[in-house]
Amino acid sequence: MELNESNKLKQVREELIEHAKKHLLYKNVLETKGHIVFGRGEDNAKILFIGEAPGFTENELGKPFVGRSGKLLEEWVKEIGLKNNEYAIMNVVPIIPLAEGKIRPPTEEEINYFLPYTMKMVKAINPEVIVLLGKSAARAFGKESMRTGETTEYEGKKMFFIYHPAYYLRNGRKGLEDLKNLKKILIEKENVQKQSKLGAFS
Ligand code: URA
């Protein structure tokens, strides 16, 4: 079920919105007539992509990764062969961070302010693989030292780090090479599932 309509995530969503309204950043939503941006995608996703914070398009439409970075992310999703009901997308900060009308990266204070809700969302969705998109997401999980394309373990889940899609867009690259390890993890997981199904019938 879609995250915004999910019963499983209803309480986290309501609490997150209340929490967000108490932060100074919320004035950006009011001044731009924008949105507090929750997640999108499947509430039982096996892969959870975690980005930074909404940009202008996301703020306007109320959904994460629906602008230029989102288009590249959707190309990545195709590249690794995911179906629509297999992934979800969220940010570590649900409000557009602005400085003099321009997008800026969220501060450590802002990431930490929303961290309890980031963790509650991860727990509720309970994905098999978490994909950190860029430095702010890595910072939220204490994984700043990860390099692009690298995999680690996180509380029994696979965690994969890749630069933020905006980085690749700035450099005129697609980043598909850097997805190799993620593809490998997914193929391995699929094989394990197939084996266990076969085992159940033998
Ligand atoms: N960049 C992000 O990190 N998140 C979005 O939702 C859009 C752009």
Separation of alpha carbons 164 and 168, rounded Å: 7
Q: The tokens of 2 are what? A: 């879609």
Q: What is the CA(69)–ligand 1 centre distance, in A?
A: 7
SS (H, E, C) the chain: CEHHHCCCCHHHHHHHHHHHHCCCCHHHHHHHCCCCCCCEEECCCCEEEEECCCCHHHHHHCCCCCCHHHHHHHHHHHHCCCCHHHEEEEECCCCCCEECCEECCCCHHHHHHHHHHHHHHHHHHCCCEEEEECHHHHHHCCCCCCCCCEEEEECCEEEEEECCHHHHHHHCCCCHHHHHHHHHHHHHHHHHHHHHHHHHHC
Of 175, 192, 194, 189, the residue nearest 79 (C-alpha): 175
pTM (predicted TM-score): 0.96
User: Distance, CA 13 to ligand 1 centroid (Å)?
Assistant: 18
Q: How many structural domains does the chain have? A: 1
Position 60 scores a pLDDT of 98
Around ligand 1, the residues with Cβ closer than 6 Å are: 51-55, 58, 64-65, 67, 69, 91
pLDDT at position 77: 97
* Distance between CA atoms of residues 196 and 129, nearest Å: 19
Burial 176-202 (b: 16+ CB within 10 A, else e): eebbebbeebbeeeeeeeeeeeeeeee
Tally the C-alpha atoms within 13 A of residue 75's C-alpha that lie toward its C-beta.
Answer: 13
pLDDT at 197: 79
Beta carbons within 10 angstroms of residue 50's beta carbon? 26
Sequence length of the chain is 202
- Using most ligand atoms within 8 A of CB, pick from 38, 57, 65, 89 the residue to mutate for ligand 1: 65
Q: How far is the CA of 105 from the centre of ligand 1 (A)?
A: 10
pLDDT of 135: 97
- Of 182, 65, 82, give the one whose Cα is nearest residue 131: 182
64 Cα to the center of ligand 1, angstroms: 6
Look at residue 189 in the predicted model and tell me its pLDDT. 85
Residues facing residue 50 across a β-bridge: 90, 132
Which residue lies with its CA nearest to atom 3 of ligand 1?
52
User: To test the ligand 1 pocket, which listed residue (3, 36, 52) has its Cβ within 8 A of the most ligand atoms?
Assistant: 52
pLDDT on residue 55: 98
Q: What is the CATH number of the domain that holds 73?
A: 3.40.470.10
pLDDT in 10s for each residue of the chain, 202 residues: 999 899 999 999 999 999 999 999 999 999 999 999 999 999 999 999 999 999 999 999 999 999 999 999 999 999 999 999 999 999 999 999 999 999 999 999 999 999 999 999 999 999 999 999 999 999 999 999 999 999 999 999 999 999 999 999 999 999 999 999 999 999 988 888 888 878 876 6
Residue 29 lies in domain: 3-201
Whether residue 80 contacts residue 109, with contact meaning beta carbons closer than 8 Å, is answered with no
The pLDDT assigned to 202 comes to: 65
